[in-house]
Amino acid sequence: MLDQLPLLPADPILGLAAAARADSNPDKVDLTVGIYMDEAGVCPVFEAVQLAQRALIDEETTKAYMPAAGDPAFNTGIQKLVFGADNPALLAGRVSSIQAPGGCGALRIGAEVIAAAAPGARVWVSDPTWPVHIPLLGSVGLRFETYRYYEPASHGVDFDGMLEDLKQAKAGDVVLLHGCCHNPCGADLSIEQWGVIADMAEAQGFLPFIDIAYQGLGDGLEQDAAGLRLLASRLPEMIVAASCSKNMGLYRERTGATLFLCRDSASAEALVSQAQVAARRVYSMPPAHGAIIAGRILSDAALRANWQAELEAMCQRINGLRSELRSKLESETDRDFGFIEREKGMFSFLGLSKEQAQKLRAEHSVYMLDSSRINVAGVNARNIDTLARAVGQVLQG
């Protein structure tokens, strides 16, 4: 039976990353996988994470299962981090959450709950969106529509096109929105535009599903959640998928949460019960290590201050890299790369053709996706000149 299954192609992003690792060129540049890298090209461990982890190892007395909803300190902390500690909905008990295996698990649990409430519901996703959104949500039978989002000519949001498409979203539909630092384009909605989306959700009755995987890496923890919180202040219901992979560096610990904003506390309790039943059939029990670490950081004043300082430094470094990369590229080409500075987070489309991206790999060992999407956080002082020169040469033909 099993030998009838064919060999499937590698994931396009992970496959490119593997090709980059296998490249023997000492000057190769890998801008493929969306992981934060420091100046040494290493994904660092936060000092606050190290401190919390050491304390956990010293104090841990059991390896029994976690509660079905996950670590209580983590759930409390992530609710406050996403919605704000003084959010009226939070204080009224209208928010509940369940710990999940990373942002992917959080998206899947959100999809499971949506499918329970409205089997076969339509989910509107941005064009483009993170490629894994479709299989994660579609695996439970949800259907998809796309709305225009990115405008290549301006390297910004096609907001008029977005609104025109979302006018077709109806009550019972779900609209998937990137909370900040849009993956893959880096072009974010302004707070005024978030307000327009809130108007539409109120009038049309669709359910926002917010994926906020990069909170703290755009403009800061509070600023990056401003759009989401605006929706929460206006709407009765919303689902959020949050991740600590990026803003705490807990990639391999798979630490995320699905959060539910509900009409009242009874509904919030019901939603988390639905999520727990869904989790039981998908992965049974949540992983412990990363969530306990994150929960300690979010609940301990000293650890939290340490973490926030390091996160702010990462955010400033990314924004500084955007400015420097723009300058380097413009000095090597006759193009305007100002859009790189206007974008937020770790990603940007450089505006190259598929053939040019492939030529960069073949002739210069510069690895980016065929769409020319790069991980800005993969740029550093050692490779930025190589990258800029290579792009300049390819653009000159």
Q: What is the pLDDT of residue 252?
A: 96
Q: What is the pLDDT of residue 76?
A: 98
Examine residue 52 and state whether it is found in any structural domain, yes or no: no
Tell me the per-residue pLDDT of 137-190, one tens digit each, with 9 for 90 and over.
999 999 999 999 999 999 999 999 999 999 999 999 999 999 999 999 999 999
11 classed as catalytic: no
Residue with tokens 């992003």: 13
Q: Residues 6 or more apart from 320 whose CB is under 8 A from it?
A: none
Examine residue 181 and state whether it is found in any structural domain, yes or no: yes
Confidence (pTM): 0.96
Task: Kindly state the average pLDDT of the residues 374-397.
Answer: 95
Q: Which of 246, 288, 300, 390 is catalytic?
A: 246
- Pairwise CA distance, residues 184 & 347, whole Å: 6
Range of the domain at 361: 2-45+316-395
232 and 98 both lie in a single domain? yes
Q: Do residues 260 and 271 lie in contact, with contact meaning Cβ atoms separated by under 8 Å?
A: yes
Domain count, the chain: 2
178 and 75 both lie in a single domain? yes
Examine residue 106 and state whether it is found in any structural domain, yes or no: yes
Tell me the per-residue pLDDT of 261-308, one tens digit each, with 9 for 90 and over.
999 999 999 999 999 999 999 999 999 999 999 999 999 999 999 999
268 and 340 both lie in a single domain? no
74 and 15 both lie in a single domain? no
Task: Kindly state the average pLDDT of the residues 28-47.
Answer: 95
Q: Which of 30, 71, 211, 300 is catalytic?
A: 211
246 classed as catalytic: yes
Residue where a domain stops, chosen among 299, 333, 351? 299
Q: What is the pLDDT of residue 10?
A: 86
Task: Kindly state the average pLDDT of the residues 356-379.
Answer: 97
> Is the per-residue pLDDT at 213 higher than 90?
yes
Average pLDDT, the chain: 97
Examine residue 55 and state whether it is found in any structural domain, yes or no: no
Task: Kindly state the average pLDDT of the residues 15-28.
Answer: 94
Examine residue 51 and state whether it is found in any structural domain, yes or no: no
290 and 345 both lie in a single domain? no
279 and 351 both lie in a single domain? no
Q: Which of 130, 173, 225, 268 is catalytic?
A: 130
Examine residue 59 and state whether it is found in any structural domain, yes or no: no
Examine residue 270 and state whether it is found in any structural domain, yes or no: yes
Q: Which of 52, 187, 213, 357 is catalytic?
A: 213
Phi first, then psi, for residue 334 (nearest 5°) are: -105, 25
CATH number at residue 246: 3.40.640.10
Q: Residues 6 or more apart from 87 whose CB is under 8 A from it?
A: 95, 229, 232
Q: What is the pLDDT of residue 338?
A: 97
Examine residue 307 and state whether it is found in any structural domain, yes or no: no
Q: What is the DSSP letter of 58?
A: H
350 and 230 both lie in a single domain? no
For the chain, strand residue ranges (E) read 29-30, 95-101, 122-127, 143-148, 150-151, 156-157, 174-178, 207-212, 238-243, 255-261, 347-349, 366-367, 373-375
CATH number at residue 387: 3.90.1150.10
Q: What is the pLDDT of residue 397?
A: 75
238 and 360 both lie in a single domain? no
Q: What is the pLDDT of residue 12?
A: 86
270 classed as catalytic: no
137 and 177 both lie in a single domain? yes
24 and 124 both lie in a single domain? no
Tell me the per-residue pLDDT of 44-85, one tens digit each, with 9 for 90 and over.
999 999 999 999 999 999 999 999 999 999 999 999 999 999
220 and 345 both lie in a single domain? no
130 classed as catalytic: yes
356 and 231 both lie in a single domain? no
Tell me the per-residue pLDDT of 116-152, one tens digit each, with 9 for 90 and over.
999 999 999 999 999 999 999 999 999 999 999 999 9
